[in-house]
Structure 1
Amino acid sequence: MASLKELRARIGSVKSTRKITSAMKMVAAAKLRRAETRAAAARPYADAMRRMLAEVARSMGGEGGQPKLLVGTGGSTTHLLVPMSSDRGLAGAFNSNINRKTRDMILKLQAEGKTVRLLPIGRKTFEYLSRDFSDLIVDHIHMASGKDVSFKVAADLGEKISGMLDRDEFDVCTLVYNRFQNVMSQVPTEMQLIPLALPGNDNQAAGETAAYEFEPDEGALLSRLLPRNLQVQLYATMLETAAGENGARMTAMDSATRNAGKAIDRLTLTYNRTRQTNITNELIEIISGAQAV
């Protein structure tokens, strides 16, 4: 049985931990509101970009000379995976879910005879993938999420991916990220960036087609819109990651704070019982000694 001194030390240690987890929970909650607002504001813009590109691409039909960002290289041999995690831990299963999904995708593609290349975004997924798949990593980027997500990071990443595509370093590019649903739920999601996965046309399902005239022509529009769309999609997922990270951390720290409180109650009860036992034993010794005299 632990001594009273040891129990007091353990109770003090758990109380200190509870203060830290409680403070982290409040910080994450303060960051979450702004991050959630920015992520929600970016979704309609990103969806509108995809719908607009879908209309422009459909108007071109199967014409040749379409940009690589739209149709890719025409092959599917080499896959570039871009997993996106946070730079810090203490966020529950937020990062491990992305790491597990990415690992499953790698093993599946390799089993199909595909070549896999990795461009991890965020320190946690980079550290995880470096252990088993270091030879597949072509580059990595930190600071993908946080209090202020910069569009410049997404723009630079988009230019890097476009440059790799121009050099035919991959055929298919897929983004893996946590889609923020609410504080309790962040869903690991994969989004194909190249070739661009265009949304369906609801009018076509109803037997209707809309005719558009574009100025400048469709090719000129796509050449300008596709690089911007790649940057916008990356930026939107970075905002989703930032919101999801803060939501997951707030939930994890709330759970840790509650568990610390329960641990303090158990230790305090044990401490009181041990103290009472010691007092009782001392009284018995005194009484026994007095009777012996």
Structure 2
Amino acid sequence: MATLKDIRTRISSIKSTQQVTKAMKMVSAAKLRRAQDAAIQARPYAAKLKEMLGSLSTRVDTSLNPLLSARDDVRNVLVVLITSDRGLCGAFNANIIKLANKVITEEYGDLHRDGRVELLCAGTKGYDYFRKRGFAVEKSYPGVFQNLHFGVAKEIVEYASEKYLNGEVDRVIVVYNEFKSVLAPTLKKEVLLPISPEQDEGQEKSSGSSSDYIYEPSPSSIIDVLVPKNLNTQLWGMMLESNAADHAARMTAMDSATENAKELLRVLNISYNRARQAAITTELSEIVAGAEALQAE
């Protein structure tokens, strides 16, 4: 049975931990507000850019731009995994790593066994996990969310586009967490390359929108500019979504940890009071027994 000193030490330790988790919750809540605003503000621009690209693709020959041309035979795949740089965020990293592992080992299992699946990790947690398990991590960006900026997304897109244009990979897939609510993010797996604007064209037709525009200098010239801009914007939006989901998951995890510490303190205080009462009762019993022994003499 734990002594009074042991219980007091544990209570003090839990109180210190509770202060830390409460402070981390407040910090994450403040960062979440900014990250959430950035992710939400980026969505309309990315959606409109994708819509314009879909509209333009109906007026030009998409085979003129290799990034718009899908390859029937997929022999090499690049998986871009976006995780956080730190832990203490519940199952945030574990869930997205599990999805990425499933994509690599199951969906593209044959290619993976032949060494034809490459991995690009944005975030420390994903890089540490796959590097220790011998996966082919071709490029990594550890600590990227400590100072998140658009240049990182642009650099990743340039790297992926160059490998796609050179024929080194036939498909680029991004696995990330999309921010939907504070309670739980949505695991997402999207094909970054090749670009598939036909989907947006179908959505445009189904919604009844048939706006026509005059393009200068020409649709083909504009589409060559929009394709890399669209890729940069889409990946940047994914990184913003993942960053917001990370702060939300950390805030939720720290809130749960604070509440658990509160409940544990309640149980320990009851145990401490019982142990103290038992010690006092024992001492009183010894005093009474000693007094009765003296009177008997």
Task: Give the TM-score range, shorter chain.
Answer: over 0.9
The answer to whether residue 216 in structure 2 is matched with residue 215 in structure 1 is: yes
Secondary structure of the residue aligned to 1:130 is helix
Residue-by-residue CA offset, 1:181-230 (whole Å, 9 max, x unaligned): 11112011011110113224345347885554432222221221111111
SS of structure 2 residue aligned to 1:182: coil
- Tell me how far apart the structure 2 counterparts of residues 153 and 71 of structure 1 sit (CA, whole Å): 25
CA-CA distance at 1:144 after TM superposition: 3.2
1:151 aligns with 2:150: yes
* Amino acid corresponding to residue 180 of structure 1 in structure 2: F
Letter in 2 for 1:193: L
1:286 aligns with 2:287: yes
Deviations 1:21-77 (A, max 9, x none): 0000000001111110010000111111111111111212xx364222222455312
> Following the alignment from structure 1 to structure 2, what is the Cα–Cα distance between the partners of residues 58 and 159?
25
Counterpart in the other structure of 1:263: 264
Once the two structures are superposed, the pairs formed by residues 41-190 of structure 1 within 5 Å of their partners are 41-60=41-60, 63=61, 65-113=63-111, 115-134=116-135, 136-146=136-146, 149-190=148-189
SS at match of 1:270: helix
Which residue number in structure 2 is paired with residue 6 of structure 1?
6
In 2, Cα distance between equivalents of 1:113 and 1:169: 13
1:78–1:172: 8 Å Cα contact kept in structure 2?
yes
Partners of 1:222 and 1:144 in 2: how far apart? 30
TM-score (norm 2): 0.91
Asked whether the equivalents of residues 62 and 69 of structure 2 are also in contact (C-alpha less than 8 Å), the reply is: no
Aligned CA distance change for structure 1 residues 208 and 239 (closer, same or farther; 3 Å): closer
TM-score, normalised via structure 1 length = 0.93
Separation in 1 of the partners of 2:207 and 2:273?
A: 74
Alpha-carbon distance change, 208 to 223 in structure 1, aligned in 2, over 3 angstroms = closer
The Cα of 1:128 is off from its aligned counterpart by 1.1
Q: Which has the higher mean CA deviation after the structures are superposed, 81-90 or 154-163?
A: 154-163
Distance in 1 between residues matched to 2:152 and 2:133, nearest whole Å:
27
Distance change >3 Å, CA 161–CA 202, structure 1 → 2? closer
- The 2-side partners of 1:95 and 1:228 are apart by 29
Q: Distance in 1 between matches of 2:217 and 2:230?
A: 18
Structure 1 unmatched ranges of 5 or more:
none
**Aligned AA (1:105):** V
Q: Is the 8 A contact 1:71 1:194 kept in 2?
A: no
2:174, 2:192 within 8 Å by CA — same for their partners in 1? yes
CA contact (8 A) 2:84 2:243 kept: yes
Contact 2:67/2:165 (8 A) holds in 1: no
Q: How do 1:12-23 residues align onto structure 2 when only pairs under 5 Å count?
A: 12-23=12-23
